[in-house]
Amino acid sequence: MNLLKVALAQISPVWLNLEKTKEKIKSFIAEAGDQQCELIVFGEGLLPGYPFWLSLTHSTELNSTVQKEIYAHYVRNSIQIEAGDLNDICEIAKDNGTAIYLGIIERAQNRGGHSLYCSLVYIDQGGEIKSVHRKLQPTYEERLAWAPGDGYGLQVHRLKQFTVGGLNCWENWMPLVRSTLYGLGENLHIAVWPGSERNTADITRFIARESRSYVISVSGLMKVPDFPEDTPHLQEILRRAPDVLADGGSCIAGPDGEWIIDPVVEKEGLIIATINAHRVLEERQNFDVVGHYSRPDVTKLVVNRERQSTLTFEDVQLEALDHKESPDFP
């Protein structure tokens, strides 16, 4: 029970193509299952892809036809969890007995169904969605495509002897957000990124050393050939696109802050390792950031985990006069 076999899926999407990217993701889940991996992690917003067009086109231009049409394409290819868009991925997770952290672009029904959220979904080994964390603060130009999330998804999950939690990209730089997961008992931290070694090389080891936990950073890949030909305004996007937009950098650091797997660059596929929960106990002996080395009498964190919405209904339920005559009455 101390050992956990993990797979880091460093792959590119079929950019902004929901169905084809799902098929690619499912193939890697099956491959991880064949290798008896108990957890597989995918990069930030991989399904259906990171909004790379924002830095390559005039994304701040108001009422731009280009921006509107690309965004509409993005919305059409986003995930509606309530509509069952992840059911097939849940099913393959169950079939393979593999838990999943998957970065998606979520079209949130409880926020009207038209705004997008960068969300990190945890699916357990039984194929059930256990948490959906919407990125609290989109970074810089991401705010032109993604809405800010809330604290509802700041959850952790038991996986054998590990307590696993996850954050999106620069959320990992937010000390109070990290501390929330630490306080929930996290000892395996998942950090997902769009894909850059410059993001993962320092913060991965820092979080591991701060928390005395394992840290798995998983990034995506993106090259010019990964843009499908049916992408709206493709030539405008490619006109300024570098050959490599995301080079990966997926890696694992141990609870002593040392590398277990150094950042892997420009290589697509599964990166597999086995980690041992006993190492966490060893490193917590001299430092435990929310345990024996904390002072809650001096500093304490308050967290709002309410799912935010613009609507709160206070409907009055009518009572059935005769329940025997209305057996289906709620």
**What are the pLDDT tens digits along the chain (330 aa)?**
899 999 999 999 999 999 999 999 999 999 999 999 999 999 999 999 999 999 999 999 999 999 999 999 999 999 999 999 999 999 999 999 999 999 999 999 999 999 999 999 999 999 999 999 999 999 999 999 999 999 999 999 999 999 999 999 999 999 999 999 999 999 999 999 999 999 999 999 999 999 999 999 999 999 999 999 999 999 999 999 999 999 999 999 999 999 999 999 999 999 999 999 999 999 999 999 999 999 999 999 999 999 999 988 888 765 554 544 444 433
Cβ atoms within 10 Å of 259's Cβ, excluding its own? 14
Distance CA 166, CA 193 (A): 11
**Cβ 214 vs Cβ 187: under 8 Å:** yes
Question: Coil, helix or strand for 161?
Answer: coil
Alpha carbon 82 to chain centroid, angstroms: 18
Rg (CA), the chain: 21
Q: Are 200 and 249 in contact (CB under 8 A)?
A: yes
Distance (Å, rounded) from C-alpha 276 to C-alpha 289? Answer: 20
CB 78 within 8 A of CB 18: yes
Quickly list H helices, 77-219.
87-96, 175-183, 197-211
**Domain 3-283: assigned CATH number:** 3.60.110.10
Omega within 30 of 0 (cis) for the link into 48: yes
Torsion angles phi and psi, residue 70, rounded to 5: -65, -40
Query: Is the separation of the CB atoms in 39 and 99 below 8 Å?
Result: yes
